[in-house]
């Protein structure tokens, strides 16, 4: 774990391609290459471990919110989106909260094995959201596409995190988060919206009033 955490730090600063085994050994404070090769056969094997470690941290801190049995499904989603925004702001918009950020993208472009591994991480994240929507089906419209909705949220958050990092402005992510909440609520049955978090209900009501004014109703 000491080696993996050191590699995560170095690769986060300078990328996978520009990181050498010597860089990791120095960062981890190891005595020599013998210690490294006792645990990892190659830099590529270490790269897989870094990706998995990043996802485990993400799952422990973020995805765990989606499994909280004390909250109803849509409230869990609301808490999860809040966690994404707050965590990104705490990092100064310089690092991605998601494990599928810049480092994962670079690694996926370098090696087919990495690409498949990153794809598997995306699928795990999407699957967790899909499970939440499946649980929330009694509250949602009959034709809701739980998989499509989950993929849309992952893609939207990933894009917003990237744009927010480029602009160094969390407001970009906050704006997308608001839009996502409204979009999700458009898939919830009208008679069930009263069970949604108050902030979401107020946003949806505000959107509907705006639409009504524009159409003359």
Dihedral pair phi/psi, residue 186, rounded to 5°:
-70, -15
pLDDT at 100 over 70: no
Which has the closest alpha carbon to 52: 100, 2, 3? 100
Q: What is the pLDDT of residue 93?
A: 72
Helix (H) or strand (E) run with residue 102 in it = helix 102-110
User: How far lies 153's CA from each of 15, 45, 84, 143, 200, in Å?
Assistant: 27, 30, 12, 18, 16
Say if residue 153 is exposed, middle or buried (CB neighbours under 10 Å; 0-12, 13-18, 19+): buried
Confidence of residue 150 (pLDDT cuts 50, 70, 90): very high
Which residues, at least 6 apart from 174, have a Cβ–Cβ distance to it below 8 Å? 85
Rounded CA-CA distance 55/46 in Å is 14
pLDDT digits (tens, 9 = 90+) for 103-126: 777 777 877 877 888 788 888 889
DSSP letter at 17 equals T
Confidence of residue 197 (pLDDT cuts 50, 70, 90): low
Rounded CA-CA distance 173/198 in Å is 20
Confidence of residue 145 (pLDDT cuts 50, 70, 90): very high
pLDDT digits (tens, 9 = 90+) for 21-48: 999 999 999 888 888 999 999 888 998 8
Q: Side-chain half-sphere of 188: how many Cα atoms within 13 Å? A: 24
Could you tell me if 83 and 65 are in contact, meaning their C-beta atoms sit under 8 angstroms apart?
A: yes
CATH number of this structure's domain 73-215, picked from the four choices 3.30.420.40, 3.20.20.80, 1.10.357.10, 3.10.620.30? 1.10.357.10
Return the SS3 of 140: strand
pLDDT digits (tens, 9 = 90+) for 67-79: 888 888 988 999 9
pTM here?
0.76
Q: What is the pLDDT of residue 207?
A: 42
Q: Which position has the token pair 């990104």?
A: 88
Domain ranges of the chain: 73-215
Could you tell me if 197 and 78 are in contact, meaning their C-beta atoms sit under 8 angstroms apart?
A: yes
């Amino acid at each position: 774990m000491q080696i993996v955490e050191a590699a995560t730090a170095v690769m986060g600063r300078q990328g996978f391609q520009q990181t050498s085994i010597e860089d990791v050994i120095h960062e981890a404070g190891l005595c020599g290459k013998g210690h490294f090769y006792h645990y990892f056969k190659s830099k590529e094997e270490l790269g897989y471990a870094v990706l998995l470690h990043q996802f485990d941290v993400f799952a422990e801190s973020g995805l765990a919110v989606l499994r909280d049995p004390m909250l109803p499904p849509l409230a869990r989603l609301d808490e999860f989106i809040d966690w994404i925004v707050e965590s990104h702001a705490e990092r100064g918009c310089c690092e991605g909260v998601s494990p599928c950020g810049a480092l994962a993208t670079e690694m996926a472009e370098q090696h087919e094995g990495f690409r498949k591994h990153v794809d598997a991480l995306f699928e795990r994240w999407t699957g967790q959201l899909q499970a939440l929507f499946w649980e929330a089906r009694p509250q949602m419209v009959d034709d809701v596409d739980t998989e499509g909705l989950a993929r849309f949220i992952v893609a939207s958050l990933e894009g917003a995190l990237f744009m927010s990092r480029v602009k160094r402005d969390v407001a970009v992510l906050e704006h997308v988060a608001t839009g996502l909440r409204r979009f999700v609520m458009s898939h919830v049955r009208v008679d069930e919206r009263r069970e949604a978090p108050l902030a979401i209900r107020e946003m949806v009501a505000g959107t509907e009033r705006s639409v009504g004014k524009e159409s003359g109703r």
